[in-house]
Structure 1
Amino acid sequence: MARVPAAPAPLTRGQVMARVKARDTAPEREVRRLLRAEGLVGYRLDRRDLPGRPDVAFIGRRRAIFVHGCFWHGHDCPRGARAPKANADYWAAKIARNRARDAAALAALEAMGWRTLVVWECALRDPGLQARLKTFVRAT
């Protein structure tokens, strides 16, 4: 009689959270693809020396692009407005902290003379995003 392999154990919440990437996510890669398609190269990724660690930074032009996941950063779109049912107080506080941290980082960069752009995950479906990125980076 052949043995049937046991089903893998379900992942714990900690294991699920450990798999959430902080950088080089699919939305970030899509934004970089759009930038390259416009010939906008020479950017740096995940600059730890800048407030908020921008996902894409054009150092010479002093432009910083942040690519935010709608859920994690509390966007007001349907995906971002979805509140978890389990441990709701924890998640509400965490997303509020993320929003406060984002606002502080944007203010700090602007105080340093940088221009910033936040690209929301849901905006990746917008056909005008590529032109918006080009205008933002090339503006004087």
Structure 2
Amino acid sequence: MHAAGLRFRLAAKTLPGKPDIVLSKHRAIVLVHGCFWHRHEGCKYTTMPATNTAFWMAKFEANINRDRRVRKLLEDAGWRVFLIWECEIAVAELKRLRDRIVSGT
């Protein structure tokens, strides 16, 4: 993103949820979610640990609820929020994301 001319901050502590990437000029935020921790539906990396299942189910549900809450807070504050999953990170996907940020869509 930096090579494409986009300037950003990482883990902005002043915003809800400390978003991964903040592009202030574009009023855009990029959340990079790990498939395991944030429960990417249908992803091969979204596995369930074999032991202590009740703990893990509660932990994952709390993560999902927090993600929803943080996204709503950011959007209500006027930020455009983009989500990219860990398994989707590839050069082509990052280029498409960059194009969407710059175009304002």
Structure 2 match to 1:38: 4
SS in 1 for 2:44: coil
Distance in 2 (CA, whole Å) between partners of 1:97 and 1:120 is 18
Counterpart in 2 of 1:31?
A: none
C-alpha RMSD of matched pairs (Å): 1.3
* Partner Cα distance (1:104, 1:135) in 2: 27
Rounded to whole Å, the distance in 2 between the matches of 1:92 and 1:66 is: 22
What code does the residue aligned with 2:85 have?
W
C-alpha separation between the residues in 2 aligned to 1:112 and 1:135? 23
Higher helix share: 2
Moved over 3 A (4+): none
Identity %: 37
Structure 1 counterpart of 2:103: 139
1:53 aligns with 2:18: yes
- Give me the TM-score of the superposition, normalised by structure 1: 0.69
Quick check: 1:108 aligned with 2:73? Answer: yes
Aligned residue among 90, 93, 112 for 2:58: 93
Unaligned runs of 5+ in 1: 1-34
| Whole-angstrom distance in 2 between the partners of 1:60 and 1:131 | 18
Unaligned runs of 5+ in 2: none
Partner of 1:120: 85
C-alpha separation in 1, matches of 2:45 and 2:53: 16
Number of residue pairs the alignment of both structures matches: 103
Which of 18, 36, 53 pairs up with 1:71? Answer: 36
Determine the structure 2 residue equivalent to 1:28. none
Residue type of the alignment partner of 1:75: H
How many Å apart are 1:139 and its aligned residue?
Answer: 2.1
| TM-score of the aligned structures, taking structure 2 as reference length | 0.90
Q: Comparing both structures, which one devotes a greater share of its residues to strand?
A: 2
